[in-house]
C-alpha cells in the first residue's frame, strides 16, 4: 500500500513515515495541501491512501478532501485531528472521509485504522 501523508508539521510527517515504513508501507510525505494535490495530479501517482491533518494553513484537511473528491472519487482519505468535534466529523463524512485518528495517537492506533480501511477496500473490490 502506498500512502501519502500531509501535515504542516515536519516532525509529524517524519514520525508517521518512519512508523509506517517499519510496518512495510510505502510512504511519501508532504507539508501542505498544494504539494499533495500536485502529486495526486500525476496520472501514475499510485497512492492507495491519503492521511492528512485537519488543521493546516491555507487549506485544511476537509478542503483537501473535497478537492481530492473532485478527481479521485474513491481514494480513501484518513483525517488526523486534535479537534474531533461533531461538526467536523459530519462534514468529513458527507465528503467521503474514510476515517479519523485523534491526536495524539500511537503507531498501533494508526496502523489499526489503516488496516480497517484496507479491509473495506478489499471488500469493495470483491463486491464489484
So what's the pLDDT on residue 126?
85
So what's the pLDDT on residue 12?
97
The model's pLDDT over 76-117, given as tens digits with 9 standing for 90+, comes to: 999 999 887 888 888 999 999 999 999 999 999 999 999 999
**Domain residue spans in the chain?**
2-127
Contacts 24+ apart (CB under 8 A), 63-69: 63/33, 64/6, 64/33, 64/36, 64/37, 65/92, 65/95, 65/96, 65/97, 66/95, 67/33, 67/37, 68/37, 68/40, 69/95, 69/96
So what's the pLDDT on residue 28?
98
CATH topology for 2-127 is: Rossmann fold (3.40.50)
pLDDT at residue 38 tops 80? yes
pLDDT at residue 128 tops 80? no
Give helix 107-127 / helix 10-21 axis angle, nearest 10°: 60
DSSP tag of 73: T
So what's the pLDDT on residue 34?
97
Amino acid at each position: 500500500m502506498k500512502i501519502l501523508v500531509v501535515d504542516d508539521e515536519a516532525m509529524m510527517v517524519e514520525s508517521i513515515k518512519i512508523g509506517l515504513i517499519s510496518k512495510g508501507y510505502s510512504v511519501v510525505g508532504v507539508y501542505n495541501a498544494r504539494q499533495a494535490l500536485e502529486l495526486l495530479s500525476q496520472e501514475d501517482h499510485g497512492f492507495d491512501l491519503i492521511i492528512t491533518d485537519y488543521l493546516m494553513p491555507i487549506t485544511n484537511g476537509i478542503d483537501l478532501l473535497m478537492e481530492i473528491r473532485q478527481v479521485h472519487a474513491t481514494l480513501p482519505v484518513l483525517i488526523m485531528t486534535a479537534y474531533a468535534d461533531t461538526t467536523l466529523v459530519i462534514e468529513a463524512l458527507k465528503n467521503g472521509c474514510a476515517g479519523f485518528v485523534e491526536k495524539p495517537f500511537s503507531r498501533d492506533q494508526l496502523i489499526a485504522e489503516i488496516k480497517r480501511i484496507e479491509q473495506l477496500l478489499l471488500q469493495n473490490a470483491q463486491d464489484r
